[in-house]
Structures are given as structure tokens and as C-alpha cells.
Structure 1
Amino acid sequence: MSPSSPPPASDLQVDFPFDYAAHVGDGRRMGRLPEDAQGARIAVIGAGGSGLAAAYELLRAGCRPVVYEAERSPDGPGGRRLGGRMYSRRLRDADSAVVELGCLRFPTSARLVRQYGQTFGVRLEPFRDNYAAPTTPLTVLDVDGRQYRAREIEDLHGLHDGFRAAHSRWQQALARIGLFQIQRAVAARDLTAVRRHWRGILLRFELWPFYRFLRDPDGVGLSHDQARLLGTAGVGPAVWDSFFDLSTVEILRLLLCTEGSGLLYAPEGIGRLAEGFWSHRTTDARGRTCSVEESNEGTLRPAVRALDVEPDAARGVMVHSEDGRSERFAAAVFTPQLRLLETGVEVRSTSARIPALGPRLLRAVRRLRYWQSSKTALVVEHPFWEDTSMDGVTLTDRLPRAAYTIDYGPVRGPDGRRGVLDLSFTWAQDAMKVAPSTLEERVDLFVRDLADIHPEVADRLRTHARAAEAVTVSWENEKHFRGLSRWSWPGDHPYQRDVFAHFMKDFTGAPAVPGEPPNALYLAGDDTSWSPGWLNHALASGLNAAWGVLRQLGAHPDPGNPGPGDLWNDPRFTPLTTR
């Protein structure tokens, strides 16, 4: 890669740049268990990406994972739903169309997702994202009642002088603070340089809200109107004005894995990845063929209501589920939203003196912040929007905020449908505007605004909306989620560091989180990752927990393949602190 070529998106989490894809790729296992630990039963709570990845790799290492799930589904194993936020809905068996209510897309830099997808035979294709020519025929930016049509983001430069200046300053600022240098260092696997550049960014900007970064002369230096315009235009998948309150560092982490990257989706539904983790037959450390499904006798266990955690890790964890069953496991991996530790699952210590979770970690859990997110979609017979201004992506400062059109190709049977129109995909305050609205009210509101933005297709839109089947979700209202994902505000880095570090316990001779007891409970899930909202990082968090479990059981890494915890004290990896 020449110094002048655009840097690729980062495939590592810069706060802990461990290569998870390489660690478990090409048949490599996370560790080798001693003979007396073979077949150890491990409770995995939550059948989302993190839990399923942990269960799959624990199985390959020789454990027997037992998976619990609170979400119900008549079609799922044991009447439970696989996937968590990998929530794909095919409304009719004959449809090729799939509604993605959770994981809509992911960057091509997500090597771990792509690697598992290839293993499980999950087809991936370029996603119709904003300004993604030639995949996306058109992106329409609607702001202040005016529309600007673009195929690539630079097309807006000639259409809106204010955008030209704002976007140019944005790119210059990212280069000036060293974001592109980090991406190049990651691509070269120069982790010393990654750490040096990231330390400077973290210490400089961790206390800055994103809005300040956009406005401050030491950041991008935009006017208020320019910052608002840049936010509405959707530069980067998360750089919306909905996120102005977030930590600048949170936004920069997102950009590191998306700048210079395309976006992918699964035409058969991202839920296929969850099914792959569940049903794919692999081999364990002894060469025996098995699957997570077989390990669980084809059934997901029901919701967990309480955990009794022994202070001595060797005595494991007692899991109490909603069906009245109580079972002891060698360890437990907890992957749902961490706020459920306050609202849905009681975690108890069997010791009056030693808590199940230390006070510092509990402080972090209680102060994590979750973002509202809403999505509403129509499933239609065919892509009626072809060759119109709606054929692609609409970005707007009106109620819908973002709309996407997707053609899923030939239907699977008679009366099947192939088109999905995501009428709206919103975050934070924009999601709250429609949170109390019914499905019918949401559809009417979004169709009203989109019809005004796209008058050439307005009549067809209204006609198809009346005939279509609609689906919606507000993740903050979902009992077992209470928000789509955690995001960090300025000053949250210490909390983020502590929840990430929980899997390390005291394996290096001292607790990675001061005051944290060395028991057999391991926290994982998207919440614990450095950059939430991305499936790749959720999967990696499951591998962290799996490493902790294996280390507790006495496993050792294969030669030349150290795990994430084996490198914890390496100065290139040890998470930085800002306390």
C-alpha cells in the first residue's frame, strides 16, 4: 500500500488490537483443556452473536455449552429465538424478502463475521448504503425541504457549497488527528504505532462530546449549520446529529472500522449466521464431530431468573431458569444487555463477605448508557421504486431520517414477495418521537414524508403501502434489550475499560478490575466491546469470555496461538486508562 493510497478500514479494535479472526481461523482452537476438564458443562446465557460464538468455540475446545435464551419464537429451537439482534424476519415462507430488525449491515473490515459466514455457508453481498455507487443507484439528501441527488458523496460538493466546505474540513481533520495513520498502522500490523497514535487521540478527545469536535477549531472547525448539515448527510454510518452528545472517541472508533470500507448484508438474512453457530457440525479437541445444537439436545433452555455465584471458581455457578430448574455449571457466560443485571436477572453470591460482582464493576454496569433505536419496514410484492428517485437511500432531517430500498431477488414460492422498503431507521430522540405510535401510525407518518421527498413515485408509494405488510420495532421497548446498544458519553472510558476487562479476572496475578472477585461468572456481549453496535465486536467479546472460561479450567494455548488474555500485559495490548 503506497503512502498516498486510501487506508483500509481497521479490522482490529484499537483499544485492544487482538486479531480474533486469526486466533480461531484455519481450524485453530482457543486452547487445550486438561483431560479432567474435558466435557465441562458451561452455561451460556443469551443466544445472540456473543453467546453463540462463545458456545461454538467452547465446544471446539472440548467443553459442553448449554445455552439459555429469553426471547420466544414458535419456529426456534425449544420455542426460543436464536440470534439476539441478528433478528431476521421472513414474513412468508414464499418470500425472498427478509426484514432485518437488528443487524442491518456490517463493514467489509469485519473479518471475524466474514470468516464465520464462510464456514457456515452464509452468502454476503454489498449493501445498498448511502453514496455506495455503483451498488446504490442513488442517494437523495433531503435537508431544509430541498433535495440533492448523489451517487457518491463528492457529488454533493457541486450541489451544495456549504457541504463542500464541511466535508473537506471533516476529511482534513481526520487526517490531521492521525485517524488514517492508525488505519495504515493496523493494516501493517505495526501495533506499537497503533498504540502511540491512539493514546494521543484518547487522551486528547475522550472528554469531548462529538458536537464539540465538529465545532471546535482544534477539531473540524465547522459552523453550527455546517455541523448540522454534515450530520444529516450521514458521513460514516453513525455520524448523525442524533449522536452529537456522544464521546468523540466513540465516533472515532466507529469511523476506524468503516472509513475506507464497504458494507455487506446477508441476502438470506443475518439470522442465518446464528443458525450456523447453532447447527454447524465441527470437531472438538478430540476429533469428535459435534454441534452446539447436539450439545443442547436440539433445544434452547428458557430465560434465566437468577445466578448463584460461588466465590471459589472451582465450585462454579448455579443457574436458575424460569421453568423452575436449577443446575450447577463449571462456569457461566452472561451475554445479554448488562442493564438486565439490574432489571431481569438476579446475581447473588453464596458468600456474605465476597460479592458476585465487585463495587467498581457494578458502578460501571449501572452507568452504561443505551440508545433508543427504531425501524419500520414494508414488505412489498416487487421493487416498485426502480428507476425512480427512491431507488437507493434517502437521508433526511424529517421524521424518517434514513430509508433504504432492497430487492431480495427471485421469490421462493407462489405469492412470494421480494422487496423491502425500510421506511425509517432512527436513533435517540428521533426514535423517541414515534415510540408511542402504533405500527399503522408510524407507516402513515413515514409515507407522508417520503411521498413529499419523492413526488414522482408518491402515488405508487401510497398504493403499495396500503397493500404491503409492515413490521416495526422500538428496541428500547423490548423487555430483554431495553435499547439497541450501549454508547459512550464523554468521561465513560473508565467504565468501558472495566466491563471489557471482566473476562481477565485475576489471571495475571492481580484483578484486571480492582476489587473484582475471581469467580466463574464471565460478562460478554456487545456492551463489553470497545465499539458497540457492530456484530464483529460482539462476536469477539464472546471469544474473550470463552478464553476466560478455558483459562479457569486449566487450558493452555496452542504453540504460536496465544489468546486475548495471554497478551493482556503486552504493552501493545493492555487497555489504556484515563483515570
Structure 2
Amino acid sequence: MTSPSPASMSMLVPDFPFSYDDWLRHPAGLGELPPDRAGTPVAVIGGGISGLTAAYELMRLGLRPVVYEAGELGGRMRAVPFASRPEYVAELGAMRFPKSARALFHYIDLLGLDTRPFPNPLAPDTPGTLIDVNGQQHWARSQDDLPTLYQEVADAWEKTLQELAELSTVRGAIQQRDIVTLKAVWNRLVRDLDDQSFYGFLASSSSFHSFRHREVFGQVGFGTGGWDTDFPNSVLEILRVVFTEADDDQLSIVGGVQQLPRGLWERRPASPVHWPEGTSLSSLHGGGPRPGVVGLRRKGSDYVVEDTSGDVSAYPAVVFTPHLWTLLNRIDCEPGLLPTEHWTAVERTHYMGSSKVFVLTDRPFWRDVDPRTGRETMGMTLTDRIARGVYLFDNGADRPGVMCLSYTWNDDSLKFSTLSPGRRLDVLLDRLGEIYPGVDIRSHIIDEPITVTWENEPHFMGAFKANLPGQYRYQRRLFTHFMQDRMDASHRGFFLSGDDVSWTAGFAEGAVTTALNAVWGVVNHLGGRSPAANPGPGDLFDRLAPVELPYA
């Protein structure tokens, strides 16, 4: 395993800098419930990483989570095996995780999953990167190999972050877990920048006075690639990623990411409260989750859940983890399920689209040395053409390789949405043939392409949430929903979680941490509490709460 060291950076999100990793590993545990609550059923809607994190911890505390899933366990941790060689998979959703995601790595390590460096552009373990922009190509192994223009862009980005966002101060505060400094700087940035788009933030910097520099930054970026699809989004979304190093030093899970949610489903925790040794989520469900939910309503102090089989069950508490838009059009909900202001926030949630195309090859042929150049035949590729990002996964010289021929966002994703998998492949091979003339990629492909367009997936309708300028107030409502003591009693007991509820949507860390918020909320709702020696996120909420912007 390659896990974060205790002294490394963490995704201590400045809006709510609660140390979830410390809470998870504390020997006192996460909480305790009144004895008469042992075995109480709690509905957990959604079997992705957020739902299974919540279900696993609720089970450990002695409750009986009942998981509902409309598709298969894993959600956007979807690793699809190739038909001819099922030991190789296409990572259609989450596929790379920063070492700073310390709560997520708690569970990766718990299951003993192996990780390896992800082949991002210019990463130390990436053999080579080809940048193809505006008809010009540059091959590099590190940023130092790039022409002056790219060095200027990298310098401009660093200067902009230091001058307009106090990068060093914030990162230092996160690393030292200096909450006072972190909150002081971040709360000011929220007030100053909530109405600013990412592009507007760049354009306001003297370092990015040149449109050419902004264009190159959008196409190529630094870290995981180009940033232009994020240009319309709130710059606060970007700063959270940069401050917590979520875009750096990323790892993949050997054998596929879906092992993580499936592992939590099968894991038998030691010494669970109430349940006998050997109990797992799988054993509590007879092997499989309940089917998808089609109805939610309140009845007295309980929530009534109806699934696609027609089964109707009542629960004193519900954890809801799917994309929030499913509450608007996939599930029949009573208006009173949420307060009106929370419904407004759900309606305003903005999702990013994304498409991927994967193929299996006979071997990692891209490692062959081109005698004309002395370099490898292909490299990780960043381009302004339709493919945008091409990633190469080498499993050994004598074993099949996996190529992500295209990883695209928003408008670039929509260019694929009406195309069949075969047509997507044809289009991409034509374009890549222009970038790599003479390289016959098709001759190495040994299975049918595997593709996804997340905005076309009915239970997702997008890859992940990304707030637009001015939407901080909506996000604050969604994130703080687990704090229900001041809510009307008719709204208590229904808890939102998932990465679109978090401050870092698109990162599994946000899915995990909001699940832990919901766990604290359920325990509190059912009369339990966190140990005095290990206070939970709700216990420290008033100290750490996200800054509240004026509404009128």
C-alpha cells in the first residue's frame, strides 16, 4: 500500500476544518446509543462510497442499516471489466485519489487495498507527456522540459494564487491544522470571491493579462490537466482543490476502485456493538441491497420508503446519498421532506458533465521506442482536440494494457453523448492518428470499447456538482443539513450526504466525510452521543462552522 504519512497534507477543507481522520482512528470510537436503540433500522439510500461508509459505521455502532441501490454497489466508483479479460477494468468514474484524502485512505487501508501512482501529466511516474495545443506539440517528462511559454503560465498561476489567495498561508495552516489562521483567511476569501468565476479570477490577475496565457492554462493547466471546463465555476471551488493538494500526488487502486465499496459491503468489523462477530452489511441484507427507491414521505415521526419492488418500510432516520437531482425527478417526495430553503439549494445544484472511452490493448505498445525520435511511441496526452486527455495504464510488458482514449468534460463531453461506442472509437482514432501519425492504435485493440457519459446516466445526470459564482449560500445549506437541532421537528431525521453535499464535489473524500456527518446526525437524532474524548463534527460545529454570508 502507498498511504499518506501522518505528517502529510490533508483535505482539511477550510469551510469546515474538522479532522475526520483523527475522529475515525480515535480508540474511543465514533459514538454510542441508548441500549434500547440497538438493532434499530435506518434506511441508507444509495450504495456508493458515501452510502456504504455511512452504513458500515452505523452497523458498527449497533444500528441496522438497510441499503437501497438502484444500480450496482459502487455508484461512481464503477470499474467495468473487459469481456475478454475481466481481470482488467475500465474506471468509468472515480479513478485517482490524492494522498491528502486521509479519511478515504482510512478505509482503503482498512481493507488492505494496494495503490500505485496515477499516470497524470508530468507526474514523476508518468514516462512521458505529449502536449498538443494549437497545432504545436511538445514532449516532456517534467515541467522543466516545456518551452518558455508554459513556464510563464506556471509562474503566472503560482503568483496569482500567492497574491490573490494567500496560498502559502492557507496551505501552512492546513498542514499545521491551525484552525484560527485557516478560518480567518478563508472566511475573508469567501466574502471577497463568492461572486467571482474562475476565469474572472484569472483575468483579474496582472500575471494573466495575456489571453494567450489564459488559453494555454485552460487547455493544459498544471496537475491533472486543463482547467478550461471549470472556467465558469466559482473560483472558491478551485481554491479548495488547490489549497488541499487534491489535484496533486494522486494514486489509483490496483485492481479497480470498486473494490473499496464492495469491500465495505463484505467487511466483518471486529467487536461490533450489538451484532455477533462475523456480521457484515452483506449478511444483514442476505447478500444484496434493497432495490432503488421510488417514494419518500413522512408518517408521524417515521420516514416511509417505497422501493421499485413495491415494498414499503418505515424508519426513524434516513441517510440519502445519491445525486440531489434524483429527489426532483426520480423519487416521489413530499414537499415537507426538506425545508423550503433546502429545496431551493437542491434546485440550484449545478453538475459537470463527463465522458470517458476505454479500450484494452494486446500489450503496452506505447512503450515501444520510436527509432526516429528515440522516445516512446506515445505518452500521456493533453490536447485541445476532441480527445482532450489520453491516459495509459501499463500492467507489464507481457500483459494487456488499458488506454483511456478520452477523458472529457462539459461541452467536450456533449460532443460524444449522441455517438455509439463504436463511433466514439472511430472519431478518437482519427484524431489521435493526426497527433501520432504512423501509430496504428486500432491494430492493438483486443476488445470492444467501454464508454460512459455521466450526464446521460439516469440516476446521476452528471459527473459531480460544481458551484457557479454566487452559490456559496446554497452549498452551506446543503452541507450543514446534518445539524438539525434547530430545525422544525417535522424535518429532523432525514440526512443528506454524498460528494455533492460536500465542499469538494468530485472527490471521494467529500463523499466519505459527509457520510460521517450523517452518521453523527443519526446517532444524535436517536438519542446517542459522541464520546467526550472524541467529539464529532456536530459537537464542534459552532467552532468550525462555515462562514454565513448575508442574504438580504
TM (norm. structure 1) is: 0.89
Report Cα offsets for 1:386-440 as digits up to 9, x if no partner. 14545441000000000000023499xxxxx631100000001110111111111
Q: Name 1:154's counterpart in structure 2.
A: 144
Name which of 315, 318, 322 aligns with 1:329. Answer: 315
* Counterparts of 1:390 and 1:517, CA distance in 2: 63
The alpha carbon displacement at 1:70 in A equals: 0.3
Counterpart selection for 2:242 from 236, 255, 258: 255
SS in structure 1 opposite 2:542? Answer: coil
Secondary structure of 2:11's partner?
A: coil
Aligned counterpart, 2:176: 188
Aligned partners of 1:430, 1:516: CA distance in 2, in Å? 45
Mapped to 2, the partners of 1:141 and 1:444 lie a distance apart of: 22
Aligned: 1:86 with 2:74: no
The equivalent position to 1:300 in structure 2, one of 289, 302, 319, is 289
Quick check: 1:221 aligned with 2:208?
yes
* Matched residue SS, 2:365: coil
Partner of residue 352, structure 1: none
Change in CA separation of 1:10 and 1:239 when aligned onto 2, cut-off 3 Å: farther
User: Which residue number corresponds to residue 419 of structure 1?
Assistant: 401
2:546 corresponds to 1:575:
yes
Match of 1:302, as an amino acid?
P
1:236 aligns to what SS in structure 2? coil
Distance 1:47 1:287, change over 3 A: closer
User: Is the 1:8–1:260 Cα contact (8 Å) retained in structure 2?
Assistant: no
1:546 to 519, 528, 535: 519
Per-residue CA distance 1:94-127 (angstroms, 9 max, x = gap): 4442210000101111111211011112111111
Q: Using the TM superposition, give the Cα deviation of residue 238 of structure 1 relative to its aligned residue in structure 2, in angstroms.
A: 6.5
Asked if 1:491 is matched to 2:470, the reply is: yes
**Among 538, 556, 559, the residue aligned to 2:529:** 556
Aligned CA distance change for structure 1 residues 545 and 93 (closer, same or farther; 3 Å): farther
Are the aligned partners of 2:219 and 2:225 in contact in 1 as well (CA < 8 Å)? no
- 1:58, 1:418 → 2: CA distance? 41
Q: Contact conserved, 1:309 with 1:520, CA < 8 A, in 2?
A: no
Q: 1:480 aligns with which of 455, 459, 478?
A: 459
TM alignment of 1:283-362, pairs within 5 A: 283-286=271-274, 288-289=276-277, 290-310=279-299, 315-348=301-334, 355-362=336-343
Task: Return the alpha-carbon distance in structure 1 between the equivalents of residues 454 and 38 of structure 2.
Answer: 39
Hey, what does 1:117 align to over in structure 2? 108
The amino acid that maps onto 1:487 is: A
Deviation readout 1:256-287 (Å, 9 max, x if unpaired): 23268410001110000011110010032257
Name the aligned partner's letter for residue 356 of structure 1: L
CA distance 1:259–1:35, shift in 2 (3 Å): closer
Q: Which of residues 123, 126, 135 is equivalent to 1:136? A: 126
More moved, 182-191 vs 260-269 = 260-269
User: Structure 1: which amino acid aligns with 2:306?
Assistant: H
Equivalent position amino acid for 1:524 in 2: S
> Is the alpha carbon distance of 1:204 and 1:239 closer, same or farther for their aligned partners in structure 2, counting shifts above 3 Å?
farther
1:535 matches 2:508: yes
- Where does residue 50 of structure 1 map in the other structure? 50
User: 431, 447, 455: which is aligned to 1:449?
Assistant: 431
| 2:498 equivalent among 500, 525, 528 | 525
How far apart are the structure 1 equivalents of 2:345 and 2:232?
Answer: 19
1:76 aligned residue? none
Equivalent-residue separation in structure 2 for 1:577 and 1:154 (angstroms): 43
Would the alpha carbon gap of residues 516 and 394 (structure 1) be closer, same or farther in structure 2, given more than 3 Å must change?
farther
Do 1:9 and 1:256's aligned partners in 2 also have CA atoms closer than 8 Å?
A: no
Find the counterpart in structure 2 of residue 14 from structure 1: 14
Note the residue ranges of structure 2 that are not aligned, 5 or more in a row: 1-6, 370-375
Look up the SS of the partner of 1:429 in the other structure: helix
CA contact (8 A) 2:223 2:248 kept: no
Mark the CA change 1:211 to 1:263 in structure 2 (over 3 Å): closer, same or farther.
same
Deviation at 1:516, TM superposition (A): 8.6
TM-score by length of 2: 0.93
Q: Whole-Å Cα distance in 2 between the matches of residues 531 and 261 of structure 1? A: 15
2: CA distance, partners of 1:138 / 1:320: 52
Structure 2 residue matching 1:565: 3-state secondary structure: coil
Asked if 2 retains the 8 angstrom alpha-carbon contact of 1:9 and 1:261, the reply is: no
- AA paired with 2:492? N
CA 1:28 to 1:52, structure 2 compared with 1: closer, same or farther past 3 Å?
farther
Q: What SS does structure 2 have at the residue aligned with 1:562?
A: coil
Q: Which amino acid aligns with 1:486?
A: K
Q: Distance in 2 between matches of 1:190 and 1:532?
A: 24
Compared with structure 1, are the counterparts of its residues 390 and 293 closer, same or farther at alpha carbon in structure 2 (3 Å cutoff)? Answer: farther
Measured in 2, the distance between the counterparts of 1:93 and 1:30 equals 44
CA pair 194-42 structure 1, distance change in 2 beyond 3 A: same
Whether the 8 Å CA contact 1:91–1:98 is kept in 2: the answer is: yes
Deviation at 1:155, TM superposition (A): 2.3
- Residue 153 of structure 1 and its aligned partner are, at CA, apart by 2.1
Change (3 A) 1:434 1:566: same
Q: Measure, in 2, the Cα distance between the counterparts of 1:502 and 1:335.
A: 13
Partner residue, 2:3: none
Secondary structure of 1:566's counterpart equals: coil
1:102 paired to 2:71: no
Instruction: Tell me which amino acid in the other structure corresponds to 1:275.
Output: R
CA distance, structure 2, for counterparts of residue 199 and residue 322 of structure 1: 44
Confirm or deny that 1:377 pairs with 2:363.
no
Q: Number of matched residues?
A: 535
Deviation at 1:231, TM superposition (A): 1.5
Amino acid at match of 2:134: D
Q: 1:74 is matched with which residue?
A: none
SS class of match (2:431): helix
Cα deviation digits, residues 340-397 of structure 1 (max 9, x gap): 0011011226xxxxx2211100000001011110000101221111145454410000
- What percent of counterpart residues are identical? 36
Query: 2:96 & 2:489 partners in 1: Cα distance?
Result: 36
Alpha-carbon deviation of 1:9? Answer: 4.3
The residue matched to 2:260 in structure 1 has which SS? helix
RMSD of aligned C-alpha atoms?
A: 1.9
Give the drift of 1:577: 1.9
Q: Could you tell me whether the CA contact under 8 Å between 1:70 and 1:304 is conserved in 2? A: yes
Q: 1:390 to 1:531 in 2, by over 3 A?
A: farther
* Aligned residues of 1:130 and 1:139 also touching (Cα < 8 A): yes
Q: Where does structure 1 lack aligned partners over 5 or more consecutive residues?
A: 1-6, 72-80, 350-354, 412-416
Q: 1:439 aligns with which of 387, 409, 421?
A: 421
Instruction: Measure how far apart 1:251 and its partner are.
Output: 0.8
Cα distance in 2 for partners of 1:402, 1:517 equals: 48
8 A Cα contact 2:501 2:514, kept in partner: yes
Deviation at 1:93, TM superposition (A): 7.5
